[in-house]
Amino acid sequence: MKLLIVLVVLCLGVATLTEAARPVSTEVVQKLKELEPVYKQLQDKVISEVAGAKLATATATDTFYKGVIADKETSLTRSIQLEDDMTYQFNGQASSVDASCLQMLRSIVDMNMNVAGFGYTNCVNNVEAGVKAELDRVYQLLQVDESELFDISLLDVFKGENIISNPAKIIAKLTEKRSEIDGISLSFVADINAAVNAYASRLGDMQNEYKSCLLGNESVLKASFESTKNQLVQTCLGAIV
Ligand SMILES: *[C@@H]1O[C@H](CO)[C@@H](O)[C@H](O)[C@H]1NC(C)=O
Q: Where exactly are the structural domains of the chain?
A: 49-151+200-235
* Range 84-91, long-range pairs (CB < 8 A, 24+ positions): 85/225, 86/225, 86/228, 86/229, 88/241, 89/229, 89/232, 89/238, 89/240, 89/241, 90/232
> Over the range 135-172, which residues count as b (16 or more CB within 10 Å of their CB) and which as e?
beebeebbebeeeebeeeeeeebeeebebeeebebbbe
Which ligand 1 atom is at minimum distance from the Cα of 213?
14
What's the gap in Å between 146 CA and the centre of ligand 1? Answer: 44
Question: Comparing C-alpha atoms, which of 116, 132, 4 is closest to residue 64?
Answer: 132
Of 90-94, 189-193, 233-237, the poorest mean pLDDT is in 189-193
Asked whether the predicted pLDDT for residue 8 surpasses 80, the reply is no
Considering the chain, what is the average pLDDT of its residues? Answer: 91
**Mutation to probe ligand 1, out of 112, 121, 122 (largest number of atoms < 8 A from CB):** 122
Atom of ligand 1 minimally distant from the CA of 220: 13
Cβ burial of 75 (10 Å; 0-12, 13-18, 19+) is buried
The answer on pLDDT for 104 being more than 90 is yes
pLDDT category at 99 given cuts 50, 70, 90 is very high
Which ligand 1 atom minimizes the distance to the CA of 216?
14
pLDDT tens track for 24-56: 999 999 999 999 999 999 999 999 999 999 999
Between 92-96, 141-145, 164-168, 171-175, the lowest mean confidence (pLDDT) is in 141-145
Q: How confident is the model at residue 12 (pLDDT cuts 50, 70, 90)?
A: very low
Cα 227 to averaged position of ligand 1 atoms, centre (Å): 19
